[in-house]
Amino acid sequence: MRQWVSLSGDGAAVGFTYAASADKSSEVVREVVGQGGKALAIRADSAEVAAVQAAVEETVGTFGRLDILVNNAGIMVLATVDQFTVDDFDRMLAVNVRAPFFAIQAAAGYMRPGGRAITIGSVVADRSAFPGSSVYSLTKGAVAAMVRGLAVDLAPRGITVNNVQPGPTLTDMNPANGPHAEQIVKLLPAGRFGRDEEIAGMVAYLASTEAAFVTGSSLTIDGGYLA
Angle, helices 99-108/49-63, rounded to nearest 10 degrees: 30
Q: Maximum Cα–Cα distance for the chain, whole Å?
A: 51
Name the residues annotated as catalytic.
136
Separation CA 117–CA 154 (nearest Å): 10
> pTM for the full model?
0.92
pLDDT surpassing 90 at residue 162: yes
pLDDT surpassing 90 at residue 103: yes
**Would you state the torsion angle of the CA atoms of residues 176, 179, 182, 186, taken in this order, to the nearest 10 degrees?**
-110
Q: Assess if CATH 3.40.50.720 describes domain 47-221.
A: yes
Domain ranges within the chain, ordered by starting residue: 47-221
Separation CA 162–CA 39 (nearest Å): 23
pLDDT in tens, 183-216: 889 999 999 999 999 999 999 999 999 999 999 9
